[in-house]
Structure 1
Amino acid sequence: MQAERGTRYSGVAMLLHWVIAILVIMNWQIAERAEGLDGPLRGEVMGYHKAWGITILVLTLARLAWRLSHKPPALASTLKAWERALARTTHTIFYVLLIGLPLGGWLANSLAGRPLSYFGLFNIPGFPVGENKELAGAIFDAHAAGGTFLLLLIVLHVAGALKHTFFDKDGNLWRMLPFGTPKA
């Protein structure tokens, strides 16, 4: 495993973090907008939600592979034990959701017999499962609940970053930005 220098994440880790973050917020908004639509327009908008979800899945797998092959900087020595535990738990849950939500959506689409087009460029094959609309509906419901939990986790993550920036003034936020001074 290659050691990361200093207290800042690598440029690749930063890029993947921020691109995934932006795509998650964007994809949430696409799904929210689709809720008020009917018929073919709703299907078209949800098609974008699905394609961006697959993109998030691929980027998250790339980020996880990068993290496993490039040791991230150590947590700040100023963190309390509960902050370290919360940081590790939050990051683990982020990975579970960022992988599980797209896979769940993909599985539900497969069970519903719905196509999964990647921005009209090509179709992504469904999972080799039989059609089961009732199970698909249950998975879609779980997918929506997981998406809501992901949003709450994002709020917690941002609140933690703001706490470290404005109250602790420990420079922790700058670990994930190419500017500023991490103090850890």
Structure 2
Amino acid sequence: MTNMARRYSIGAMIFHWVIAIAVIVNWRIAENAEHAEMPEKAAIFADHKALGILILLLTVGRLLWRWTHPVPPLPSTLAKWEATLARGVHIIFYVLLIGLPLGGWFANSLAGREIDMFGFFTIPPLPVGDDPEAAKAIFGLHATGGSVFIYLIALHILGALKHTIFDKNGGIFRMLPFGKVPG
């Protein structure tokens, strides 16, 4: 198997890193909004919402890319539990990458709010009616999901570093266009 066949395609790499950066930036935006006072808080959350919708669109693009481009196999040196954990975390990532933005949009819709896409256009609320209590509950779940996501990202980074530094199986280089991915 060639070095390129053991790593993700350039398109997958671009989607991965753009989405990863966007998710971390969006987490920091939400953290900053939590510590702000109105009306600044609302303005900061507007950016969080818009970036969340952009992450959703990028994730749909990434899934379409994944379904049309082969994914390299996991290194054969992984223990069964490591391969299971890797697959499970990736599935949860996709669930969160889709579920968090949709949940945020749904909660905003229940609160009667549209989503301003960085001043270019607005996304109207979903036709779900007003229910501030349900919106509040969903926002709570959204925040919890975001926290879970950050912990899983940390686990993902630690795993990639472990495989790269200690196992020397190419870990992080599978998602970069440089570096050696051993056969």
TM-score range, shorter chain: over 0.9
**Distance in 1 between the 2:50 and 2:26 partners?**
9
Shift of 1:68: 1.1
Alignment of 1:9-158 (within 5 A): 9-158=8-157
Asked whether the 8 Å contact 2:161–2:171 carries over to 1, the reply is no
**Distance in 1 between the 2:174 and 2:41 partners?**
40
Q: Quote the residue 2:171 is aligned against.
A: 172
SS at match of 1:39: coil
Shift of 1:84: 0.9
Question: 1:42-69: CA deviations, max 9, x gaps?
Answer: 1111000000000000001100111111
Q: Which moved more, 1:139-148 or 1:64-73?
A: 64-73
Q: Counterpart amino acid of 2:113?
A: R
Q: Which moved more, 1:132-141 or 1:75-84?
A: 75-84
Asked whether the 8 Å contact 1:9–1:176 carries over to 2, the reply is yes
Shift of 1:170: 1.0
Q: Quote the residue 1:183 is aligned against.
A: 182
Asked whether the 8 Å contact 1:165–1:172 carries over to 2, the reply is yes
**Distance in 2 between the 1:150 and 1:162 partners?**
18
Shift of 1:173: 1.4
**Distance in 1 between the 2:30 and 2:81 partners?**
34
Asked whether the 8 Å contact 2:109–2:128 carries over to 1, the reply is yes
**Distance in 1 between the 2:173 and 2:38 partners?**
45
- RMSD, matched Cα: 0.9
Asked whether the 8 Å contact 2:113–2:124 carries over to 1, the reply is no
In the superposition, the TM-score normalised over structure 1's length comes to 0.96
Q: Counterpart amino acid of 1:77?
A: S
Question: 1:151-177: CA deviations, max 9, x gaps?
Answer: 000011001011101111111211100
Give ranges in structure 1 of 5+ residues lacking alignment: none
Shift of 1:101: 0.2
Q: Counterpart amino acid of 2:111?
A: A
Question: 1:98-127: CA deviations, max 9, x gaps?
Answer: 000000000000000112110111110211
Shift of 1:38: 1.6
Q: Counterpart amino acid of 1:62?
A: G
- Counting matched residue pairs gives 180
SS at match of 2:96: helix
Displaced runs of 4 or more, over 3 A: none
Identity, in percent, stands at 58
Asked whether the 8 Å contact 1:57–1:102 carries over to 2, the reply is yes
Q: Counterpart amino acid of 2:7?
A: R
Asked whether the 8 Å contact 1:172–1:183 carries over to 2, the reply is no
In the superposition, the TM-score normalised over structure 2's length comes to 0.96
